[in-house]
């Protein structure tokens, strides 16, 4: 399946501006229960901050009032929306990144896909577990005790 079918659309991605403070970005993560915030300028992704980055900066006693542009990772990996699920997994593994920026055929930002999204889609596609649904594991599974 193409990543455009299971990515998080750009309109739903939580973003911040480069001038936002590290504190503001951390608050966005906590409030929205997410693992990353995409840093966007002129409607284009220019960087990313992840939960792992936040822990690192906390341990380094970073000045959390400084703009996020001083801390963000800029090594964003972009892929086309027609990339297949297994190709996305390979791309993430080889680049050692947990997030891929998805662009359409005209190179416009269309969304983001995470390792979790790819893994869920791989499991669903493989039908390796008969109780897997798009929402999660069915309560009728004999392997899970409630």
pLDDT per residue as tens, the chain (146 positions): 899 999 999 999 999 999 999 999 999 999 999 999 999 999 999 999 999 999 999 999 999 999 999 999 999 999 999 999 999 999 999 999 999 999 999 999 999 999 999 988 888 777 655 555 555 544 344 444 33
From the candidate CATH numbers 3.40.228.10, 3.10.580.10, 3.40.50.720, 3.40.640.10, the one assigned to the domain spanning 3-126: 3.10.580.10
Task: Please return the burial class of 34, using the count of CB atoms within 10 Å of its CB with bins 0-12, 13-18 and 19+.
Answer: middle
Q: Are strands 99-103 and 78-80 parallel, antiparallel or unpaired?
A: parallel
Where do the domains of the chain lie? Answer: 3-126
**CA distances (Å), origin 140, targets 20, 112, 131, 134:** 46, 32, 8, 15
């Amino acid at each position: 399946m193409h990543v455009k079918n299971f990515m998080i659309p750009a309109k739903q991605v939580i973003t911040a501006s480069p001038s936002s403070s590290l504190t503001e970005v951390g608050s966005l993560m906590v409030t929205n229960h997410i693992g990353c915030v995409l840093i966007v300028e002129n409607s284009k992704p220019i960087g990313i901050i992840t939960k792992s980055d936040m822990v690192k900066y906390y341990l380094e006693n970073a000045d959390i009032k400084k703009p996020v542009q001083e801390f963000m990772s800029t090594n964003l990996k972009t892929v086309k929306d027609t990339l297949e699920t297994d190709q996305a997994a390979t791309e993430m593994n080889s680049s050692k990144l947990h997030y891929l920026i998805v662009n359409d055929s005209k190179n416009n930002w269309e969304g983001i896909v995470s390792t979790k999204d790819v893994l869920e889609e791989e499991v669903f596609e493989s039908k390796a577990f008969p109780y897997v649904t798009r929402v999660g594991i069915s309560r009728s599974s004999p392997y899970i005790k409630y």
